[in-house]
Amino acid sequence: MIREETERPEQVKIVFFPYGKREWFSKGRVSIFSAAKALGIDLSSLCGGKGTCGKCKVKIGEGIKGLNPLTEQELKHITQEEIEAGYRLACQAIPTTSISVYVPERSRVGKQRLQTEGLEVPVKQLNPFVRKYFVKLPKPTLHDFRSDEDRLLDTLNAGYGLSTGLEIDFELGVDLASRLRDADWAVTAVIWKNRIIEVEPGNTSGRCFGFAVDVGTTKLAGFLMDLNTGKVVAVASRMNPQISLGEEVMSRITHQIMEGHKGVKELQGAVVSGINEMIEECCEKVGVEKNEIYELCFVGNTAMQLCFLGIYGRYVAFTPYPPVLRRGVNIWASSIGLTSHPRANVYHAPVIGGFVGGDNVAVILATRMLESDEICMALDIGTNTEIDLGNKNLVMVDSCASGPAFEGMQIKHGMRAATGAIERVSIDLETLEINYRTIEDKPPVGLCGSALVDVPAELLKAGLIDLTGKFVPEMAEKTNRLRRNPKGIWEFVLVLQPETATDTDIVVTQGDIRELQKAKAAMRTGAEILMKRLGEERKETVTEDDISKLFMAGAFGNYIDPENARTIGMYPELPYERVEFVGNIAGTGSRMCLISKEEREYAEKIATTVKYHELAADKDFQKEYIDALYFPHKNLDKYPDTADLLRRLGRIR
């Protein structure tokens, strides 16, 4: 509820994307480069900010008019095209108004650690929609004057028994004649469903590729797959370039609403450009031509589906949040500017509701929950966290706005999992000293998601915060790490400045703890209410004991400490051995849909069978949410093991 004031005299606010880091700086005195350095953003530079190396190119979003004119040095490094797109050299650009800055991939030093890997799940049957058939056609003669089309169809029928409803795509038909003759009548027909979309010269049936994508709100994961073997041949990931148009789903849709058609196109163009980059990267890695990709499969939440397919989403954003298209969608790659084969089919998995999309369909598909005898729970953690619960009889799902706190946003020294991010933290219960580890062992810049799970858990165990999440002022007598900032707000110092890569201490504030509490409470409430409502449907209570398996999926799933996550009450108290980290399981589901007709049909079935529960409208939401704000929970009976631990540590009686 408490927000920073939006304007300050003599200061400008600089926001860096895709990091989501922001700070106030003196107006007209600080270059974007210095600001980035102060915030520990990994902006590359060889010359150290003199404007001679041209490495620190950034793209300006809002506030470009408030910058000084392009300098001579900049004109040497930035092309006209880039100028029009809003590029500047960070070291030369000095803002006099608040500004948003996007740091493109090429201008970053450290690699973001984006989790793309997900559990491998065998498909029911390797059965892609795209097939390749090599045929040798008899040449036309005076006695055999069939059309080129019939000649090809007849031969395919004779050789492979492909007769039913096969047709040649008209666009291919336009230059079919020369293709056949240039290849001396020996060609490989590429068939998607019952449509011949390409003929390649010679026998290329051994090479058949597809591309599966998980379109996340913050990150994209792409998998180049060999459709003959069903194996992944290359992986790529990117930040979703749409981030500069809005940090989370709601602001993306707002962008559509505010900008209308232009905004819809901008969002679509942004995500497509990111996907094209991944296609290019994967193809280069393994020597595949982009034209050899004949099908693409996408999963994404409902807002991402809208933004990707270019659907106007205004009404999805308002209660009761109805999706526009629920079913799976098939369109041509060229129609939205994807650089695979132009006639490659693009399949977007069906969505379940306004807040539960194709990515969740993929989660249910890949966890096989809807086929399980035992009750399973899946938690797909992200800016929106989806929770699934059930078994073969019924799976229910809800979605909660857990927010981006665990992705490092809205946290004073939060950051994404990139070089220099603190990823593990522990506090010595005796000395209250800190041990930490950073990504690639570089000097610490900030805290990423996994550390943001560790911090409240460790503070709690050390007695530095109480069960309500409040810092315990008396502990300031035991350690000077606990202090009040100039505004009188409590904060805990994790790393003192000389050790950090930035020019400040790395701290966690009382406000940060509150943000994390809200995020974890939202997830926990989603789980609790689903347990209640599933119980009502089944006419028997569903408790922790009934849940045989908890799949933890999502952005930082594999990196978080399951004990600490449980200690803060992020998920119901289940024995650790029932918790399985499955990583980017939505990506797994996307791959399965790409290589198997059966799985794709099953995905369509999931979308219509799973029961969506609207959390915000639930009568118990407010009470459950408030109880879940506590560490680990207001009702400690729900956390007997954790309560026992805290009792032994003397934190509770």
Token readout for 601 is 């049909």
Question: Is 551 or 621 the residue whose CB approaches other proteins more closely?
Answer: 621
Q: How far is the CB of 313 from other proteins (least distance, A)?
A: 9
The minimum distance between CB 410 and other proteins, in angstroms, equals 11
Site size for other proteins (CB under 8 A): 39
What DSSP element (H or E) covers 550? strand 547-554
CB 84 within 8 A of CB 519: no
Q: Which of 37, 54, 42 is nearest to 92 (CA)?
A: 54
Residue with Cβ nearer other proteins (183 or 467): 467
Site for other proteins in 507-566 (CB under 8 A): 509-511, 513-514, 517-518
Q: Does 10 bind other proteins (CB under 8 A)?
A: no
622 in contact with other proteins (CB under 8 A):
yes
Q: Which of 443-451, 483-491, 525-533, 581-589 is the region at the interface with other proteins (rule: CB under 8 A)? A: 483-491
Taking CB under 8 A as the criterion, the residue among 468, 497, 543, 635 binding other proteins is 468
Among positions 70-99, residues that touch other proteins (CB under 8 A) are: none
Q: Tell me the closest approach of the beta carbon of residue 652 to other proteins, in angstroms.
A: 17
CB 385, min distance to other proteins, A: 16
Distance CA 644, CA 651 (A): 10
Pick out residues in 302-361 that bind other proteins (CB under 8 A).
314, 317-319
> Which segment (150-158, 275-283, 534-542, 624-632) binds other proteins by CB under 8 A?
624-632
Q: Which is nearer to other proteins, 138 or 473 (CB)?
A: 473
Residue choice 617, 637, 650, 653 for contact with other proteins (CB under 8 A):
617
Q: Is-contact 239 18, C-beta < 8 A?
A: yes
7 binds other proteins (CB under 8 A): yes
What tokens appear for 229 in the block? 């073997």
Q: Which residues contact 400 (CB under 8 A, 6 or more apart)?
A: 384, 385, 387, 522, 523, 525, 526, 615
Q: Report the nearest approach of other proteins to the CB of residue 444 (Å).
A: 24
The β-bridge partners of 398 are 387
109-128 binders of other proteins (CB under 8 A): none
CA distances from 131 to 171, 593, 598, 602, 634 (A): 19, 15, 15, 20, 57
Residue 79 Ramachandran class (φ > 0 left, ψ -120 to 50 alpha, else beta): beta
C-beta of 209 vs 631, nearer to other proteins:
631
CB of 425 to other proteins, least distance (A): 20
Biggest CA-to-CA distance, the chain: 102
Contact between 629 and other proteins (CB under 8 A)? Answer: yes
| Stretch near other proteins under the rule CB under 8 A, chosen from 85-93, 186-194, 265-273, 467-475 | 467-475
The total of other beta-carbon atoms located within 10 Å of residue 92's CB is 25
Enter the tokens of residue 110.
């450290």
Nearer to other proteins, 559 or 621 (CB): 621
Q: Which of 34, 44, 52, 254 binds other proteins (CB under 8 A)?
A: 254
1 or 142, CB closer to other proteins?
1
Q: Is 474 one of the binding residues for other proteins (CB under 8 A)?
A: no
**Residue 210 near other proteins by CB under 8 A:** no
Among 1, 9, 474, 619, binds other proteins (CB under 8 A): 1
- Residue carrying the six token digits 């998601």: 449
Mark the segment that binds other proteins (CB under 8 A) among 137-145, 148-156, 245-253, 293-301. 245-253
> Half-sphere exposure of residue 538, counting CA atoms within 13 Å on the CB side?
20
Decide: 98 and 32 in contact? Cβ < 8 Å: no
Q: Please pick, from the candidates 136, 261, 262, 470, the single residue that binds other proteins as defined by CB under 8 A.
A: 470
- Binding of other proteins at residue 469 (CB under 8 A)? yes
Is residue 563 within 8 Å of 390, Cβ to Cβ?
no
* Residue closer to other proteins (CB basis): 82 or 614: 614
Cβ closer to other proteins: 132 or 255?
A: 255
Q: Is 634 in the site for other proteins (CB under 8 A)?
A: yes
- Contact status: 142 vs other proteins (CB under 8 A): no
Closer to other proteins at the Cβ: 117 or 466?
Answer: 466
Beta strand pairing call for 195-201 and 167-168: parallel
Annotate 540-575 with b (16+ C-beta within 10 A) or e (fewer): eebebebbebbbbbbbbbbbbbbebbbbbbbbbbbe
Q: Which of 625, 633, 636, 642 binds other proteins (CB under 8 A)?
A: 625
The order of strands in the sheet holding 490-495 is: 482-484, 490-495, 506-509
**CB 401 to other proteins: min, Å:** 8
Q: Does 253 bind other proteins (CB under 8 A)?
A: yes
Among 335-343, 446-454, 462-470, 645-653, the segment contacting other proteins (CB under 8 A)? 462-470
Q: Among residues 626, 640, 644, 647, which is the contact residue for other proteins, using CB under 8 A?
A: 626
Q: Specify the residue, 172 or 411, whose C-beta has the smaller distance to other proteins.
A: 411
Cα separation values, 510 from 380, 447, 483, 516, Å: 27, 15, 11, 10
Closer of 233 and 472 to other proteins (Cβ):
472
Q: 302-309 and 261-286 helices cross at what angle (nearest 10)?
A: 90
> Least distance from C-beta 3 to other proteins, angstroms?
5
How does strand 482-484 pair with strand 219-226?
Answer: unpaired
Cβ atoms of residues 334 and 343 within 8 Å = yes
In angstroms, the CA 156 to CA 312 distance is: 42
Per rule CB under 8 A, is residue 488 in the interface with other proteins? yes
Q: From CA 418, how far away is CA 112, in angstroms rounded?
A: 4
> What is d(CA 139, CA 443) in angstroms, rounded to the nearest whole number?
70
For residue 84, give the amino acid letter.
Answer: E
| Helix, strand, coil share (%) of the chain residues, nearest 5 | 35, 25, 40
Distance CA 371, CA 369 (A): 5
Q: Is 487 in the site for other proteins (CB under 8 A)?
A: yes
179 binds other proteins (CB under 8 A): no
Rounded to whole angstroms, the Cα distance separating 215 from 644 reads 41
Nearer to other proteins, 87 or 621 (CB): 621
- Angle (CA) 167-173-175 rounded to 5° is 155
Residues 283 and 234: their CA atoms lie apart, in Å, by 8
| 161 contacts other proteins (rule: CB under 8 A) | no
Give the nearest distance from C-beta 622 to other proteins in angstroms. 6
Dihedral angle of Cα 566, 568, 570, 575, to the nearest 10 degrees: 10
Give the interface with other proteins as residue ranges (CB under 8 A).
1-3, 5-7, 246, 250-251, 253-254, 257, 314, 317-319, 468-471, 487-490, 509-511, 513-514, 517-518, 616-617, 622, 625-626, 629-630, 634
